[in-house]
Structures are given as C-alpha cells and as structure tokens.
Amino acid sequence: MTVLIITHSQDNESIPLVMQAIAAQGGKAFRFDTDRFPTQLQLNIYYGKEKQQLILIDEDKKLDLSEISAVWYRRIAIAARIPTTMDSQLRLASVQESRVTIQGMIASIPGFHLDRLPNIRLADNKQLQLQVARMLGLDTPRTLITNNPQAVKQFYQECEQGMIAKMLSSFAIYDREAQEHVVFTNPVTDADLDNLDGLHLCPMTFQEKVPKALELRTTIVGKRVFTAAVDSQSLQRSRYDWRREGIALLNAWQPYDLPQDIQNKLLELMAHFGLNYGAIDIILTPDGRHIFLEINPVGEFFWMEHCPGFPISQAIAEVLLTNSHTKDFLQLFEQKDDQKHQNAFSPQV
C-alpha cells in the first residue's frame, strides 16, 4: 500500500510524523512537495488508445500513480519556485498551467483521499460552517459579516460583553523588511467605530465577545475525536487569540473530555462536508457552554503529538491504510462501463 502525501518543502513536522506512522503500520509513503513542480519534479501523463500512465519523477525516484492506494492532501504550493525574474505575464501563465496540471492529476487518482479537494474547499467556507453548525444544534457566537459601517455600529450595541473583529481568510501582511505579520482576532473599541471607512475596500467579520474559561482544539480523524484544552486567559496577549502566544502555551495543553452530544454533532458536521479530518476551535464559557467557532479541514495538529501526547499521526496513517481498499468514484464508473459492455453482449434471460 502506497500513500501519496501532497505538501510543500517548508511544511512542518506533521509530514515525517505521519510518514513514520505509515511505515510502522506496513505501508509506504511518497512525499510530493508541490513547490518543486515544475522546476525540479517531472510529471508524465499519458492517455493512449490501449493504456494510460501517470508517472511522477523526483530525481532518481519514479512513482507510478496507478500504484497509489491513498492520498493525503495536506498543503499545496504549486509552482512556487518558478523564477520571479520571468516576464510577469509568462510567469502567471506558467503558474496557472502548473496548478491546473497538478490539480487534475490529484483529482484523477482513484485511491482513497483524505480529503478530496472539492470537499476541503467547500468546508473552508466559514459562513457555510456557521450555517451548518447552527442547523446541527451547535452553539455559535452572534456574527456579522459586512462592509457597512452603520451595521457594525448597530451590532456593537447588541454585544453586551464586547465585540471582536476577524477575517474569513487566513493571511499575513509583510512590511518593507519582509517581516510577516499575521492577522489575528482583535477586540473592537469605541475608538475603532470612528475608523470604519476602510470597510468600503474590504469587508470584515465581527462577533460578540464570548467569555472564555478554556479554549478547546478538537481534532477529528475518521471517527476518532481528540480534544485538548488550554487556558488562553493566563497570558495577556493570548486572551483574544491563543495563537499570539502559541509557543508560550505549547506545553500548557491538557486532554479534555468533550461531552458526547457535542462530539456527535461535530461528527455530523464532518459527515455533512464529507471530511475524514478536521481541526475544530471551540470556546468553553465559564457557565459551561461549548461555543463552536470554526473548522479547519487541513488544520495543524503536530503540537498535540507532544502535549498532551495524542496519537494523531498514527490515527491519520490508520485511516489512510485501512481505507486504501475503498473504491473511488472513478473506479466505480469504470466498473459500470465494464458492466454495460458485458451486458451488451450477454444473452437476455
């Protein structure tokens, strides 16, 4: 059984953790660093009258993609190494063609996928997440997504305990020295309400401030649910977004017993989006409510391998290997075509 891991060369220790777990469970893993295509990796895709071939070449290593039994879609950075010195229009065309080529390659692999790109893209829609979570009975914060300053001011009055601002997409801003500044969740003050003109250039997401006893990270792999908790209120800078002090809190995460009814609803959420993996953020309020914030279908997990020591990489490997025999829709189509062909030449009974 061979697992294709789709990632990039700058990914973190999650990759070797899962590769080791796959090897320990008797499988093989091939790492595809998408940023090295097309400048360093070669791909031969051949569709002929009698056969088809998909061969990925990494220096002296060749992988026949027909041998792939499972795919782990982890990260993607296709064509990141194409020189920036190229003519901008030609580079854009090269990047676009490279992306279409690799995305088509991924889609055409008939093995088990953790998870399929269309499912990931759908689940990445945080507005839809909130709708589905509410439909399933999960508690969610009051939320306003708008480019209308007056709507923000009115919503601010409705949020008795305060309001926070966040973005629907994850991104960073780089200064003149190329230093990265991640856009975190921030509180909204009275003074901020007088400076909302920028909304006509970019909408923002506003939510009521939810009091926090603990912040939870629930990682779901298949049907296994791993939940850890951290006291984000113990540090000043992490009160609104624990990621600001992610390193300082690294060893502060503890196992948390998530109520079964919440687990069941989260598994229903996963099933709705057709996901086998998801990293979910939840707030535990001082009065014991569990407030769903969002699900990241390719969220990080590596630090939970160390503290509190969850075997998430082993769980990922197990799902990939145990489902590697699962037939994909392309195989089913081929079977149906074969059956039609056989029926056309079979005697009627």
Residue with tokens 């990265």: 180
Per-residue pLDDT tens for 159-205?
Answer: 999 999 998 876 656 556 656 556 788 889 888 999 899 999 999 99
Flag whether 7 is in a domain.
yes
Flag whether 346 is in a domain.
no
Show the tokens assigned to 17. 């953790």
Q: What is the pLDDT of residue 346?
A: 38
Residues 268 and 216 in one domain: yes
Q: What is the pLDDT of residue 347?
A: 37
Residues 87 and 122 in one domain: no
Residues of the chain falling short of pLDDT 70: 170-182, 325-349
Flag whether 177 is in a domain.
yes
Residues 278 and 130 in one domain: yes
- Look up residue 4 and give its DSSP letter: E
Q: What is the pLDDT of residue 174?
A: 56
Residues 203 and 284 in one domain: no
Residue 122 sits in a domain of what CATH number?
3.30.470.20
Flag whether 337 is in a domain.
no
Query: Judging by DSSP bridges, how do beta strands 68-73 and 112-114 pair with one another?
Result: parallel
CB atoms within 10 A of CB 97: 12
Per-residue pLDDT tens for 270-280?
Answer: 999 999 999 99
Residue 148 sits in a domain of what CATH number?
3.30.1490.20
Residues 121 and 249 in one domain: yes
CA angle 195–199–200, rounded 5-degree value: 120
Flag whether 86 is in a domain.
yes
* Containing structural domain, residue 217: 116-139+211-323
Domain count, the chain: 3
CB atoms within 10 A of CB 64: 11
